[in-house]
Structure 1
């Protein structure tokens, strides 16, 4: 008789060992609809991007099998060339759409946390029930942020991985693909997407605690997060030291190997002074250059090798901001409880 009851008891203990603590299970049950919607958005975006990459790869294979050429179009291949180019250009547009979705994601996360996750409980008073069930206010807020953070970080990592795979392994129409430094692509190819998402989560938590009403808290969190998404990229080029290329006056082009993100381009005089290129835009540029003793040209730029240094520095700034805002949220909660 003892042997028959030992196995179910053992299974019950094993299930209890792997079960989530009570506050986390409560968050999952209470906000399961909103969390499923957020999960569904990630799943749909990732699946659509992967399917688009596979589709354009299939279009490239079909076009290769026709033995037609893009550069030297043979008679009778016009339809195949147009179809293939349309497929690749649509693929490039879809990459941009995915990047722009990543730019808007932190605002969505901020509004989601500020309204349904935090402010709704405070506005309706249901937080009082949680706080009387041996759950401290700090643990109540921490459980909410931890559940959403786990879902958001997992989704952003997967989406970024698929976006980078699609961008780096796409077909050979390289001139149509967005450059790494374009804002939509930059935010969806590295680690900054995680930083912006966590900052949106922290801002949402603080907004919900400060305002305590759903719609105003969602609006405030969206506005603040959008401000960071817009303003921080304005100083992005200054987060890492630029490289400078110089060349003789006989060459006036602004393109150099691996030029990347061009920040400044102009003329150099004999004594090393920098002059703007537009100074000698006129009917006699050579005479203007001689008058100003121009001996060469210069360009300040970020090559593609600066992608990861810029990403990591910006991500570090975002994580520090997120940590500071999260600390402010817990301090505010403790003060109001006291």
Structure 2
């Protein structure tokens, strides 16, 4: 019995330390946690409301007649006519918020989560209280990563549901930058990449303000780079035909050439059909997770090398 107690004591102490560290993390960053949960609740409520406007918005996009007929609604139905604008604007705002979530996450991670605690000595104090630096960093990253994955992962399918049939006149084309990011796993990967880049910046600069700036700059560079080269992440489809080529609205056009050999007009178009949505999502998600993993590994290695 004594041997069993001695064997389980270290595990119990480690569990208590992890619990106290997580409680300290929640207390220190209570404002950020409250704001994040509030934003999640507001976004959820907004998406539920927008979904309820979907049918009315699609009716407002159709033709109307005065007086109304069996097939056409009344042109005086102001609610139906304006609902499409409210719906489209609301979907666009929420898509942008999901697409750009990595920026506030990176700024917070670099400035408040890591940089400020290293700058004011809070981290060093925690290291002297039976919480090793590596365990401290693991707890610092694990809790926000779990919350970001759960929160963003819940909003993405809710956003897809609120978009209904994906009418491009209302919610934008599938390949529009914000629409693309906000309707797939790429949104979660961007949030995690922002967290990792912010944590690494905080450990490198060890001060809140410079770490915030570097984290934002790195996130902006990554976001812009992937958006610019998204079309290159998966092989395109080519179409060559005499005369002009008319691609469907759903085609993500990449190039369009019209050479004229021997006086005969030949058109060539390369594009991504809508079926390429998921391959592009998986490729971009994989790249972002690789960046996040590399940044986190670099953060742990950097902290380990600085230990006495």
TM-score, normalized by the shorter chain, greater than 0.5: yes
Q: Which moved more, 1:71-80 or 1:312-321?
A: 71-80
What is the aligned partner in structure 2 of residue 159 from structure 1?
155
Partners of 1:313 and 1:117 in 2: how far apart? Answer: 29
Distance 1:99 1:239, change over 3 A: same
- 8 Å Cα contact 1:120/1:212 also seen in 2: yes
- Three-state SS of the structure 2 residue aligned to 1:263 is strand
Q: Which moved more, 1:209-218 or 1:134-143?
A: 209-218
Q: Which one of 215, 219, 222 corresponds to residue 221 of structure 1?
A: 215
Gaps of 5+ in 2: 1-14, 69-73
- 8 Å Cα contact 1:39/1:151 also seen in 2: no
Q: Which one of 129, 132, 140 corresponds to residue 136 of structure 1?
A: 132
Map residues 32-111 of structure 1 onto 2, 5 A cutoff.
32-57=30-55, 59=56, 70-75=62-67, 77-80=74-77, 82-111=78-107
Partners of 1:174 and 1:18 in 2: how far apart? Answer: 53
Partners of 2:252 and 2:57 in 1: how far apart? Answer: 29
What is the aligned partner in structure 2 of residue 236 from structure 1?
230
Distance 1:83 1:18, change over 3 A: farther
Match status 1:179 vs 2:173:
yes
Match status 1:263 vs 2:260:
no
Partners of 2:75 and 2:181 in 1: how far apart? Answer: 37
Scaled by the length of structure 1, the TM-score of the pair is: 0.79
Partners of 1:44 and 1:259 in 2: how far apart? Answer: 31
Structure with max Cα Rg: 1
- 8 Å Cα contact 1:52/1:91 also seen in 2: yes
Map residues 239-258 of structure 1 onto 2, 5 A cutoff.
239-249=233-243, 252-256=244-248
Match status 1:318 vs 2:288:
yes
- 8 Å Cα contact 1:103/1:229 also seen in 2: no
Scaled by the length of structure 2, the TM-score of the pair is: 0.86
Gaps of 5+ in 1: 1-16, 268-274, 276-288
Deviations 1:299-319 (A, max 9, x none): 111001000000000110010
Partners of 2:17 and 2:211 in 1: how far apart? Answer: 33
**In the comparison of the two structures, how many residue pairs are matched?**
289
- 8 Å Cα contact 2:102/2:190 also seen in 1: yes
- Three-state SS of the structure 1 residue aligned to 2:254 is strand
